[in-house]
Amino acid sequence: MEFHCEDFPQFGVVLVPPSDPEYDRLLVDIERHVGPVDGRDGEFSAILINRSQHGIAAIQPMWTFEEVNGRTHRMSLAEGRIQPSFFPSGFPRSH
């Protein structure tokens, strides 16, 4: 199975998947500030980096699964069902 992240770099919002060389360094940095992160070994996770001048008010992750025969299935989580980690605006950014 392949994991492909689509982010919005044109708006300063970047997803860093586990396949990115910086993922482990970023995760260690996050855990240094907030403690162990659930799902640390998950191959289908990503670290969201907001490089824009604006805060992110809400997110809604969406997935598309494509079968070998080309059939696709889409899935998303309602806004209230996800539990992202929020950091204060003063959180040191090392990326």
- Residue 16 lies in domain: 9-81
| Predicted local distance difference test score (pLDDT) of residue 40 | 61
> For residue 93, is it within any domain?
no
| Predicted local distance difference test score (pLDDT) of residue 2 | 67
> For residue 94, is it within any domain?
no
pLDDT score of 83 more than 70? no
> For residue 45, is it within any domain?
yes
> For residue 46, is it within any domain?
yes
Give the helix/strand (H/E) hosting 29.
helix 23-34
- Write the pLDDT tens digit of every residue in 55-64: 888 777 777 8
CA max distance for the chain: 48
Instruction: Report d(CA 65, CA 70) in Å as an integer.
Output: 9
The number of domains in the chain is 1
> For residue 50, is it within any domain?
yes
- Write the pLDDT tens digit of every residue in 21-46: 999 999 999 889 888 877 666 677 88
Instruction: Report d(CA 11, CA 24) in Å as an integer.
Output: 24
User: The whole model's pTM is what?
Assistant: 0.66
> For residue 87, is it within any domain?
no
Q: Which two tokens stand for residue 76?
A: 């998303």
> For residue 91, is it within any domain?
no
| Predicted local distance difference test score (pLDDT) of residue 68 | 86
Q: What whole-number percentage of the chain has pLDDT above 90?
A: 12
> For residue 43, is it within any domain?
yes
